[in-house]
Amino acid sequence: RAAGALAAAAVTAVALAVAAWRRARPVREVLFFPSRPCCIEALLAEAAEPGAPARPCPCPLPSGDTALSRLVRRLLSARRSLDLCLFSFSCPQLARAVHLLHRRGVRVRLVTDAQYMGLHGSQIGRLRHAGIQVRHDQHSGYMHHKFAIVDRRMLITGSLNWTTQAIQSNRENVLVVEDAEYVKAFQEEFERIWEEYNPANYRFF
């Protein structure tokens, strides 16, 4: 009986170690778009009120595992900070996720492109109105990055503009990487741009 208990304990220890290793293993994910359309209401509801009973969404879309739902999940994992550097941001679903993080107390900073932020459908005004800090360029080249940094730990970057057209119709890629070296390089680029686009530095010609 003692040997049996010992064996069971050993099996449990191995299982716990494997689970810990899986949790600790850095995220390395490649997402390709277009994404199948999907409902992300359940993801947003769970993030807004963890553990609350799920209410079924009346929309006809499936809530399965898609490139979009994976992207939203990664964003919603933010606990402290979300730094966004986005050429174009008009997708209402992603804007709701960002707004939710802001309401939850995550420090959101958003850098965007001056020419694109005012286009029809842009979510920038809405997010700014909600109290999120937004900065934009003031020169002729495009601020063409499309990356996000979650908790200064996870980099989300690729070809994807945050628009419904891109998500549903285009061939796009997004890398999600928890890699200190890449995160550091992009975080430094973000801070450079954030400072360069500080309104205190604007020159009025």
142 closest CA partner among 111, 121, 166: 111
Residue 139 DSSP class:
S
| Amino acid letter, 67 | A
- Tokens 């205190």 map to which residue? 200
Query: Residue 188 corresponds to which tokens in the numbers above?
Result: 């430094």
Q: How far is the CB of 158 from its own copies (least distance, A)?
A: 7
Distance CA 7, CA 81 (A): 44
Is there a catalytic annotation at residue 83? no
Residue 84 as a binder of its own copies (CB under 8 A): the answer is no
Site track for its own copies across 90-129, x = CB under 8 A: ----------------------------------------
Q: Which of 144, 145, 179, 184 is catalytic?
A: 144
Of residues 117, 119, 101, the one with CA closest to residue 43: 101
**Looking at 137, 146, 179, 184, which residue is catalytic?**
146
Q: According to the binding rule CB under 8 A, does residue 76 interact with its own copies? A: no
Q: Is 90 left (phi over 0), alpha (psi -120 to 50) or beta?
A: alpha
Q: Which two tokens stand for residue 107?
A: 């420090």
Q: Catalytic annotation on 146?
A: yes
- Determine which residue in the list 1, 22, 129, 171 makes contact with its own copies, applying CB under 8 A: 171
151 has catalytic annotation: yes
Instruction: CB nearer to its own copies: give 129 or 171.
Output: 171
Pattern 123-162, its own copies, x by CB under 8 A = --------------x--xxxxxxxx---------xxxxx-
The residue among 75 and 86 lying less far from its own copies, judged by its C-beta, is: 86
CB atoms within 10 A of CB 47: 20
Asked whether position 165 contacts its own copies by CB under 8 A, the answer is: yes
Of 114, 112, 85, 84, nearest in space to 99 by CA: 84
H/E run at residue 11: helix 2-24
**Catalytically active residues, by annotation:** 144, 146, 151
Query: Which residues are near its own copies by CB under 8 A?
Result: 28, 30, 32, 34, 87, 137, 140-147, 157-161, 165-166, 168-173, 175, 181-182, 185-186, 189, 193
